[in-house]
Amino acid sequence: DAGITQSPRHKVTETGTPVTLRCHQTENHRYMYWYRQDPGHGLRLIHYSYGVKDTDKGEVSDGYSVSRSKTEDFLLTLESATSSQTSVYFCAIRGGPPSSYEQYFGPGTRLTVT
């Protein structure tokens, strides 16, 4: 199994509070991604990173920011959580060519915003 961990695994927070989710990998992979999973929507990309301090927006980036100061860590921050951000968040990593193009996912973080 790919070495990806996410913390926390579960979190309940109140509307308006800041929240940071952490993704940690031990594979030294270049690319890291944050997705959210919601019923009826599958997985949608929030942000991704293609190297330390190199990040870009995905399909549903509004209300989220990310940072990557080390290869192994990719942080997702909700500056002011809203109920619409209640979701399951998955981090993924991907090795660059020529190794493989598939993504491997962390165990997920279930976030509830009340």
- The answer to whether residue 24 forms part of the interface with another protein (CB under 8 A) is no
- Residue with Cβ nearer another protein (83 or 99): 99
Site for another protein in 46-75 (CB under 8 A): 48, 50, 58
Q: How far is CA 82 from the centre of its chain?
A: 17
Q: How many CB atoms lie within 10 A of CB 52?
A: 15
Residues at the site binding another protein, with contacts judged by CB under 8 A: 30-31, 33, 35, 40-45, 48, 50, 58, 88, 90, 94, 96-97, 100-105, 107-108
